Structure 1
Amino acid sequence: MTILDKYILKRYLVTFSVMLLLFIPIGIMVHLAEQIGKMQDNEAPLNEILVYLGNFSIYIGSMLLPIFLFLSVIFFTSKLASNTEIVAILSSGISYARFLKPYIIGATIVATFMLLMGMFIVPNASKGFNEFKFKYLKKGKQDRVTENIFNQLNENDFIYVSRFDPLRQQGYNFTLEHFNEENVLEYKLSAANIRWVPTDSLYRLTSYVKRSLIGETEIIETKTRLDTIFPFKINDLTPVSYIAETKNLFELNEFIADQKRKGASNINTYILAKYKRWSLPITAFILTLIAVAVSAQKRRGGMGVNLAFGILVAFIYIFFDRVFGTLAEQSGFSPLLAVIVPNLLFGGLALYLLRRAMR
Structure 2
Amino acid sequence: MLTILDKYILKRYLATFVTMLAMFVPIGIIVDVSEKINFMIENKVPFLKIAVYYYHFTIYFANNLFPIFLFLSIIWFTSKLANNTEIIAILSSGISFTRFLRPYIIGATLVSIFVLIMGFFVVPVSSEGFNNFRYTYLRTNGQQAMRGDNTDVYRQINDTDFLYVNSYNASSKTAFNFSLEKFDKDKMVSKITASRIQWNPADSTYTMYDYKKRTVGALGDVIVREPEKKTKFGFELEDLTPVIYIAETLTLDKLTAFIDKERARGSSNINIYMVVLYKKFSVPISAFILTIIAVSVSAMKRRGGMGMNLTIGIAIAFGFVFFDKVFGVIAEKTTFSPFIAVWFPNFIFGILAIFLLRNAKR
**Superposed pair shares fold, TM > 0.5:** yes
Q: Is the 8 A contact 2:153 2:167 kept in 1?
A: no
Structure 1 consecutive aligned stretches of length 4 or more whose deviation exceeds 6 Å:
199-202
Residue 158 of structure 1 corresponds to 160
Residues in 2 aligned to 1:62 and 1:186: alpha-carbon distance in whole angstroms: 45
Moved more, 122-131 or 140-149: 140-149
Moved more, 10-19 or 251-260: 251-260
Cα–Cα, structure 1 residues 319 and 267, in superposed 2: closer, same or farther, change >3 Å?
Answer: same
Residues in 1 aligned to 2:196 and 2:12: alpha-carbon distance in whole angstroms: 62
Q: Is the 8 A contact 1:151 1:263 kept in 2?
A: no
Counterpart amino acid of residue 231 in structure 1: F
Structure 2 residue 293 is the aligned partner of structure 1 residue 284: no
Residue 215 of structure 1 corresponds to none
Structure 2 residue 134 is the aligned partner of structure 1 residue 111: no
Residues in 2 aligned to 1:242 and 1:144: alpha-carbon distance in whole angstroms: 9
| 3-state SS of paired residue (1:166) | strand
Counterpart amino acid of residue 257 in structure 1: D
Q: Which residue of 313, 336, 339 corresponds with 1:336?
A: 339
Map residues 1-359 of structure 1 onto 2, 5 A cutoff. Answer: 1-138=2-139, 140-141=143-144, 143-144=149-150, 146=152, 148-152=154-158, 157-160=159-162, 164-166=165-167, 169-170=176-177, 175-177=181-183, 188-189=188-189, 194-195=193-194, 204-205=212-213, 209=216, 220=218, 222-223=220-221, 225-226=223-224, 231-232=233-234, 237-240=239-242, 241-359=244-362
Aligned length: 336
Shift of 1:170: 3.1
**Percent of pairs identical after alignment?**
47
Shift of 1:354: 0.6
Cα–Cα, structure 1 residues 262 and 45, in superposed 2: closer, same or farther, change >3 Å?
Answer: same
Moved more, 334-343 or 133-142: 133-142
Gaps of 5+ in 2: 169-174, 198-206
Give deviations 1:18-77, integer Å, cap 9, x for gaps: 111111122212222322221111100011011111111111011111110000000000
Give deviations 1:80-103, integer Å, cap 9, x for gaps: 000111111111111111111000
Q: Is the 8 A contact 1:145 1:239 kept in 2?
A: no
Gaps of 5+ in 1: 179-184, 211-219
Shift of 1:188: 4.8
Q: Is the 8 A contact 1:293 1:354 kept in 2?
A: yes
RMSD: 2.6
Shift of 1:278: 0.8
Counterpart amino acid of residue 82 in structure 2: A
Q: Which has the larger radius of gyration?
A: 1
Shift of 1:150: 1.9
| TM-score normalised to structure 1 length | 0.85
Cα–Cα, structure 1 residues 10 and 226, in superposed 2: closer, same or farther, change >3 Å?
Answer: same
Shift of 1:209: 3.6
Cα–Cα, structure 1 residues 237 and 72, in superposed 2: closer, same or farther, change >3 Å?
Answer: closer
Residues in 1 aligned to 2:320 and 2:17: alpha-carbon distance in whole angstroms: 19
